[in-house]
A and B are shown apart, each in its own frame.
Chain A
């Protein structure tokens, strides 16, 4: 748990301070706007896959919360 909190706070710190040099201007986002470039762009496929893996494996979620809600595990 402690390790997790440290990792998380390091990530947030790195992101809010050191990352101002990373990134693009608004008019450079044309590629990023494509559906296959968006996290969450393949929601339906992910949901079907996640349901399959949830019912066959011991891990679930990670991409988003709440992997459960189904009686199949």
Chain B
């Protein structure tokens, strides 16, 4: 359900839940009816994407794909575009970004305990991980029987961009669409840029980092909340699909600013996967970012 609230600076906010996150649409001054209408449009798009690509629902596209593993399937246009994108990201990142890394979930449960899996258990899963092992040529997909795919790594950011497109055609005022921290703005408010607060957990400075956003998108990746701790070593939940193990020295949080949320999300995920080299990587790409360790 949607919740409307007035915010300082003549901004209206519409809150709702989607993609297991608190979501928000912030708008410049409009009538409440229009705000709720646009909010429900954004919520509906988020729910549509969530349901369509959910790993848990039998009636989602992923459910259908996983039931028909081993056969060639003709996927719909949207799924095909996402698979193309996932393939390009897999190649650009030299295998660091891999939507087939789902099986690692079976041995890694990041519940803050010290139950780190045995190396053999992890090694056993590696043969069924690797995007190159899928047979993908748009629109035909064949997933081998022991593999699985998951769009979780780009789902939220993609949903932000989709909702953004829908809103841009219908919203006469500046807006900011935020799905659990991944956000995008259309243009600045009449009186100045949008003010966004980025959480800084586990940091000496408890206050949030304030960013001013006029255009573009922000996405944040990190492992501050889910980890394992054993023998003095902290295992963050960002796993390197090539080894099956957490990336060593992964930053707590990386926030990236880019023109689309999908782009920002990919860059922030890749940065975290680079571990120690996160800041260097981001600098090489010449992108505005904030790395927190």
Q: Do chains A and B make direct contact within the complex (CB under 8 angstroms)?
A: yes
Measured CB to CB, the residues of A under 8 A from B are: 25, 27-28, 30-31
Beta-carbon contact of A27 and B172 below 8 Å: yes
In this assembly, does B209 line the interface, its C-beta being within 8 Å of a C-beta of chain A?
Answer: no
Q: Enumerate B63-90 residues with CB–CB distance to A below 8 Å.
A: none
Q: How far is the CA of A30 from the CA of B129 in the complex (A)?
A: 47
Measured CB to CB, the residues of B under 8 A from A are: 33-34, 37, 169-172
Chain B residue, CB-CB nearest to A30 = B37
What 8 A-B pairs have minimum CB-CB distances, sorted nearest first?
A30-B37, A27-B170, A27-B172, A30-B34, A31-B33, A27-B171, A27-B169, A30-B33
Q: How far is the CA of A28 from the CA of B34 in the complex (A)?
A: 8
* Chain B CB within 10 A, most for which of A25, A27, A31: A27
Chain A residue, CB-CB nearest to B167 = A27
How distant is A72 from chain B, measured CB to nearest CB, in Å? 43
Chain B residues, Cβ within 8 Å of A28: 34, 172
Chain A residues, Cβ within 8 Å of B170: 27, 30
Q: How far is the CA of A61 from the CA of B152 in the complex (A)?
A: 56
Chain A residue, CB-CB nearest to B34 = A30
Beta-carbon contact of B172 and A25 below 8 Å: yes
Known interface pairs A28-B34, A30-B34; 10 further A-B residue pairs with C-beta atoms within 8 A, sorted by A's residue number:
A25-B172, A27-B169, A27-B170, A27-B171, A27-B172, A28-B172, A30-B33, A30-B37, A30-B170, A31-B33
Q: How far is the CA of A6 from the CA of B171 in the complex (A)?
A: 42
Q: How far is the CA of A1 from the CA of B170 in the complex (A)?
A: 45
A-B contacts, 12 listed (Cβ < 8 Å): A25-B172, A27-B169, A27-B170, A27-B171, A27-B172, A28-B34, A28-B172, A30-B33, A30-B34, A30-B37, A30-B170, A31-B33
How distant is A27 from chain B, measured CB to nearest CB, in Å? 5
How distant is A43 from chain B, measured CB to nearest CB, in Å? 24
Q: How far is the CA of A64 from the CA of B34 in the complex (A)?
A: 32
Q: How far is the CA of A30 from the CA of B171 in the complex (A)?
A: 11
Chain B residues, Cβ within 8 Å of A30: 33-34, 37, 170
Q: How far is the CA of A31 from the CA of B36 in the complex (A)?
A: 11
Q: How far is the CA of A27 from the CA of B33 in the complex (A)?
A: 13
How distant is A53 from chain B, measured CB to nearest CB, in Å? 35
How distant is B242 from chain A, measured CB to nearest CB, in Å? 47
Chain B residues, Cβ within 8 Å of A27: 169-172
How distant is A57 from chain B, measured CB to nearest CB, in Å? 39
Q: How far is the CA of A25 from the CA of B33 in the complex (A)?
A: 16
Q: How far is the CA of A9 from the CA of B171 in the complex (A)?
A: 38
Q: How far is the CA of A30 from the CA of B39 in the complex (A)?
A: 12
Chain A residue, CB-CB nearest to B37 = A30
Chain A residues, Cβ within 8 Å of B169: 27
Q: How far is the CA of A53 from the CA of B55 in the complex (A)?
A: 55
Chain A residue, CB-CB nearest to B172 = A27
Q: How far is the CA of A25 from the CA of B37 in the complex (A)?
A: 16
Q: How far is the CA of A27 from the CA of B38 in the complex (A)?
A: 10
Chain A residue, CB-CB nearest to B169 = A27
Q: How far is the CA of A31 from the CA of B170 in the complex (A)?
A: 13
Q: How far is the CA of A31 from the CA of B32 in the complex (A)?
A: 12
Q: How far is the CA of A30 from the CA of B33 in the complex (A)?
A: 9
Chain B residue, CB-CB nearest to A27 = B170
Chain B residues, Cβ within 8 Å of A25: 172
Chain A residues, Cβ within 8 Å of B34: 28, 30
Q: How far is the CA of A50 from the CA of B170 in the complex (A)?
A: 37
Q: How far is the CA of A28 from the CA of B169 in the complex (A)?
A: 11
